[in-house]
Structure 1
């Protein structure tokens, strides 16, 4: 009788782990990363401001990809960000721009892409040339606290 209770408790615990595993995989939105016909783009930024891998890439507020890799170009001292775009992004014009934004005042960072109007399109491995780095709140506060703002220049 005692071994039946132990087996049933063990089976119950294993079912709980299986349910937690299924929940973890279903909540990570893994269909964007597994399979599919996406492509890679790169963009260079002078300041990422806490942008991390797997951060969303959005066009008009709709997620169309994610940050695949962040590296430092040791020659130019710029951050090189590789973006994994999904098929939902469509063909982006070659003069599209990318900027790093913050969700809310202190939320997570994401990359927003503004499509251009050129007829040529970006292909796999191409680089987005027009970029805008992150606005770092601490640097802005420091400028105004210590009088380095443009309006504080003395004659």
Structure 2
């Protein structure tokens, strides 16, 4: 029977692997041509297979978030409000800008324009997700759990 530490370690490693894939997926969705160039460099002739294996961010994120939320709530509860803040849109916001854009906005496909000028695009969610993902990695490193090499 696994100890709680072993269980959380395994869960955390799984979250990091899924988080890495989600980060790549969002990057691909936001900049497909740039990602394709990078994938060709990284995977050579197998780049299209690597791209095809990426999860659909919108379809996979909610499950990752729920799992990560539970782990962070148990292991680093002092960071839970930060983790949630990156996902949830502020209840009292009057307008959307890049500082208050949330992953929830991305999942709903929200962009903001003024006339023909894009004020906030979907790409505003990438740094928010990267912060959430970094929290799972930071905890792993903080607890001296061997980092997973991807």
Give the alignment's TM-score, normalised by structure 2: 0.22
**Which protein is bigger by CA-based radius of gyration?**
1
TM-score by length of 1: 0.22
Higher helix share: 2
Structure that is richer in strand per residue = 1
